[in-house]
Structures are given as structure tokens and as C-alpha cells.
Amino acid sequence: MKSVKNIQKITKAMKMVAASKLRAIQTKAENSRGLWQPFTALLGDLPSADVKKNVVVTISSDKGLCGGINSTSVKISKGLHKLNSGPEKETKYVILGEKAKAQLVRDSKKDIELIITELQKNPLNYTQVSVLADEILKNVEYDALRIVFNKFHSVVSFVPTVSTVLSPEIVEREAESGGKLGDLDSYEVEGGETKGEILQNLAEFQFSCVMFNAVLENACSEQGARMSAMDSSSRNAGDMLDRLTLTYNRTRQASITTELIEIISGASALEG
């Protein structure tokens, strides 16, 4: 009973810590949505684009006790890998977080291009994530980057999401073939830069903005899921404590009753 009470205290404390962290991250996540949305309007988001080199960026947490958010991300990542694999296609993983690393290393080690952990060791900001995005772009060759994360809706609700960032070459190819890629073609290019150079800069900036939002959304989902998990654990510990207390009281009462019967029987025997 004492150990169950201690566990209940720990789970309640962890719920409070998760709630505090969630409040700090949620505002950042909501504000970051304004960064990537203009790029979707400008360049589009084509998850069905048929390309040869795919990179699946799987975002997960470094710590557990947060429900099934990491398993969901890994499951979707494996599905994308299978969907975009073929004789003339190449699909690689970039993993963010210990939990996705632990699951994907077991059966997809040869397809992992880059692993980054301890992302939330320091408070998340755009500078930190843009350096991370730059490191990914330097270490992988891609036609399409598919970022898998959990989009935060509420404490008890998150939606597995895939955002697609195409390389400048693929953007130009899709535009030339008549594909609809947002409103980019409705703008005129001025200055000395070519359209290819502008697309290169836009693609890099788009990836860093999408990554920033994805990391924050996933961090919110993680803390929300941890709050729910710790709340359930605290209630389960309370239920277990009630059952143990009832069993203890019944056993204690039975023991007292047995002792009283023995005393009374002994007294009756002496009198007889």
C-alpha cells in the first residue's frame, strides 16, 4: 500500500510538470503555424508527388510514458517507406528522438541516414531548429522530404500528420508539366536571381519553418499525452489503493474476530 501511494504521488507530480510544459509550448506551436502556411499557399503540398529519392523525417520524443504517439509516428513512417519503395526508388529515414530510433533501428537500420536526439534538452526556438534543418539538408539527397509528426488539437486529441517539402528541381518539373503548385506562378520574379535560385532559397526556408512547427506540435502532443497517461495512472493507483485497503481491513477484521473467538472459547473452557 505504501508503494502504491508513492507511485500515485509520482504520477500526480508528473502530470503537473507536463501541464506546466504544455502551457509553455502551446503558445509557441500556435504562433508557428503562421510560418509554414504561406509556403503551402505559395509552393503547395503534394504528398502524392512521384519522385525517386524520398526522405522520411520521423519526429518522436526522447522520453516515454506518453501514450502511443511515438508508435503512431513510426507506423506511419514505415507505411510511407513501403509506399515509396521500388526498383528505381530510394527511401531513407531521418530520425528525431530516442523512441523512434529504438523502434526503427531494429528492422530498418540500413535505411537510416541520420539520427538526432535530445532535441528538447533546451527550450525550443527557431534558431535551434533551423540549424537542425540545415544539418539534415547537408547530409541527405532528396526529391521529397516527408515530415511525420503529431499535430496538437487538445490535451486528449492529436492527429498524425505528414507534411511534404519538394526539392526545387521537382517543383520546377511539376510546374512545367502543368501541375498545380500553389500560387507561385502568379508572381513575377524581379532582380538578378533566377527562378531556380529563388526556389532553392524558398525550399530551404520552407523546410526549416515546417520543421519548427512540426517539432513544436509534436512536443505539445507529447506533453498532452503524458498528462492523460499520468492522470489515468493516478486514478488506477487510487482504485488499486482502495481495493488493497478493503482487503487489508477485511483481513485485519477476520484476524481480530478469530482472536476474540479463541479468547471466548478459552474462557468458556475454564469456566466449564
91 has pLDDT over 60: yes
> Within 13 A of 11's CA, how many CA atoms are on the CB side?
19
- Domains by residue range for the chain, with CATH: 24-226 (3.40.1380.10)
Listed residue (218, 223, 167, 165) closest to 196, CA to CA: 167
| Inter-residue contact 145 to 214 (CB < 8 Å) | no
Instruction: Indicate the pLDDT class of residue 179, thresholds 50, 70 and 90.
Output: low
* Torsion angles phi and psi, residue 125, rounded to 5: -145, 170
| Inter-residue contact 74 to 100 (CB < 8 Å) | yes
Q: What is the pLDDT of residues 201-230, one digit of tens each?
A: 888 888 999 999 999 999 999 999 999 889
**Cα dist from 21 to 18, 26, 60, 224, 226, whole Å:** 5, 9, 17, 9, 11
Helix (H) or strand (E) run with residue 249 in it: helix 195-271
Mean pLDDT of the chain: 86
